Amino acid sequence: MTMTSTELSVHQLRAATGGYCYECSCGELYRLVSAAVECRKCRYYTDHGYCTEVYDIVTGTKVYESPVIANEREREVREAEYRRQAEAPFTLGDACPELAQITF
C-alpha cells in the first residue's frame, strides 16, 4: 500500500495497513464503506445519531455522504441564494434595462 501525504495517526496508519481505511462519523475504522455507513457507535457518539459521512483516510477523500445531509446542504445553498437576491438593492434597470439609464 502506498501512503499519501495525508497525515495519519499511528492508530490510523496501523488500521489502514490492515485494510481498515474507511472512517465513519464517529471515527471508527472499517474495511468496507457499507460497514462504515451502518456503524452502530455513530448512534451514540454523533450529533445526528447516525453516520453522516465516510472518508477514505488513505486518500483523504469523502466516499459517502448521507442523502439527508446532502439535501440539507443543498437547501441551505438555495436559501442563501434566495436571501442574497431578496436583499439585493432593487433598481429600475432590474425590471427594464432601458430604465437603468434614467437618473434622478
Asked if residue 26 lies in contact with residue 45, where contact means CB atoms within 8 angstroms, the answer is yes
- Class of residue 30 by CB neighbours under 10 A (exposed 0-12, middle 13-18, buried 19+): buried
CB of 27 to Zn ion, least distance (A): 7
CB of 86 to Zn ion, least distance (A): 39
Q: Which stretch binds Zn ion (CB under 5 A): 4-12, 17-25, 69-77, 94-102?
A: 17-25
Distance CA 61, CA 80 (A): 26
CB of 44 to Zn ion, least distance (A): 9
Residues 28-67 that bind Zn ion (CB under 5 A): 28, 39, 41-42
